[in-house]
């Protein structure tokens, strides 16, 4: 007597279930993000996905973990226009920086009253009747703790490109753009206004807990690094500070890695599966090399 179709489906289902259980025992599915990344790195090593794809997937994960404070441009480095001053006073800065958008302040950096689009300044050069305050677009304010994945969704939904980051006391902490968020996924986005001059490689920032600090591009030549920081790191085996850091760790550094080399505290601020992008370097007092 032939089997009933229901019996056949049941038998197939049982066999399939058994097969799935056996597969899970041999090659278990990742149960968390760390395990998933291990699987992806293994796939990359076996040439199943390329470095660019792996880097972007890691970037997506990073975006969901990072907040605005992690990648914002600090208040001290913001390029703003002060509309309490005559246009002639800040127009040279607008031309020199060549940004497409500028936070507009009214006398103080904490008083951001709007965003000025550079293209709106064409009316000034066209000798039309021009009032800066009438040209301002509304400024969007977000807390430092806002997650980047949520911010990216808001940027897309509201067609905004820039947000002002405020601290817990409602003071301006910095600014962030949609480009800053996207760069966490796809890497640096260069345009015709991005310069790669040597003087931009090393940027002195606010002094840290132990000493002076610098934000440094990983591609900075060791010769320039030693000259500007007054250090004597070896220049024989590698050419760049990023290469020296990778050699020191013996692996590709990850974002958030912290370590010391010759009295310098390093923190990896930006990195992907292929290379380091930006480092935070702090000079430690003598005798404190083992602080971390």
Please list the pLDDT of the chain residue by residue as tens digits (292 residues): 555 555 544 544 444 455 555 444 445 565 677 777 788 778 878 888 877 777 778 778 778 888 898 888 888 888 899 999 998 889 888 887 778 899 999 988 889 999 999 888 888 777 667 788 888 999 999 999 999 999 999 999 998 899 999 998 889 999 999 988 888 777 665 544 444 444 568 888 766 666 788 888 888 999 999 998 989 888 888 889 999 998 888 887 887 788 899 889 998 887 765 678 888 899 888 765 543 3
Residues 215 and 243 in one domain: yes
Residue 261, classed as helix, strand or coil, is strand
125 and 232 both lie in a single domain: no
Q: Is residue 43 in some structural domain?
A: no
Of 158, 186, 214, the one marking the end of a domain is 186
Quick one: 182 and 205 in the same domain? no
Distance CA 118, CA 234 (A): 45
* Length of the chain in terms of residues written: 292
Give how many domains the chain has, as a whole number: 2
Q: Residue 129 belongs to what domain range?
A: 69-186
Radius of gyration for the alpha carbons in the chain, expressed in angstroms and rounded: 26
Last residue of a domain, one of 155, 186, 217: 186
For residues 268 and 280, give the distance between their C-alpha atoms in angstroms, rounded to a whole number.
6
* 269 and 226 belong to one structural domain: yes
Q: 102 with 176, same domain? A: yes
Of 186, 211, 230, which marks where a domain is finished? 186
CATH code at position 258: 3.30.465.10
**What is the per-residue pLDDT across 124-137, written as a single tens digit (0 to 9) for each?**
777 667 788 888 99
62 belongs to a structural domain: no
Do 75 and 166 fall within a single domain?
yes
For the domain that residue 150 is a member of, what is the CATH number? 3.10.580.10
H or E element in which residue 73 lies: strand 73-74
pTM above 0.85, yes or no: no
């Amino acid at each position: 007597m032939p089997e009933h179709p229901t019996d056949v489906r049941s038998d197939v289902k049982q066999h399939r279930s058994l097969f799935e259980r056996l597969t899970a025992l041999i090659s278990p599915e990742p149960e968390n993000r760390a395990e998933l990344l291990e699987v992806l790195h293994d796939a990359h090593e076996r040439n199943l996905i390329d470095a660019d794809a792996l880097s972007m997937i890691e970037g997506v994960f990073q975006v969901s973990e990072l907040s605005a404070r992690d990648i914002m441009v600090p208040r001290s480095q913001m390029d703003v226009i002060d509309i309490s001053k005559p246009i002639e006073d800040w127009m040279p800065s607008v031309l020199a920086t060549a940004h497409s958008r500028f936070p507009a302040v009214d006398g103080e950096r904490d008083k951001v009253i709007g965003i000025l689009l550079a293209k709106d300044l064409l009316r000034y050069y066209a000798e039309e009747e021009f009032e800066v305050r009438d040209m301002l677009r509304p400024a969007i304010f977000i807390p430092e703790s806002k997650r980047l994945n949520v911010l990216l969704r808001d940027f897309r939904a509201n067609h905004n490109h820039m947000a002002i980051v405020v601290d817990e006391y409602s003071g301006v902490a910095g600014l962030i753009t949609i480009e800053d968020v996207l760069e966490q996924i796809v890497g640096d986005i260069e345009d015709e206004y991005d310069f790669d001059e040597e003087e931009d490689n090393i940027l002195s920032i606010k002094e840290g807990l132990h000493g002076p600090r610098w934000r440094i591009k990983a591609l900075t030549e060791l010769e320039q690094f030693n000259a500007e920081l007054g250090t004597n790191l070896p220049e024989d085996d590698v050419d760049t500070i990023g290469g020296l850091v990778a050699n020191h760790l013996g692996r590709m550094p990850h974002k958030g890695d912290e370590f010391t080399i010759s009295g310098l505290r390093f923190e990896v601020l930006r990195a992907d599966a292929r290379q380091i992008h930006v480092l935070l370097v702090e000079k430690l007092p003598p005798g404190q090399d083992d602080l971390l």
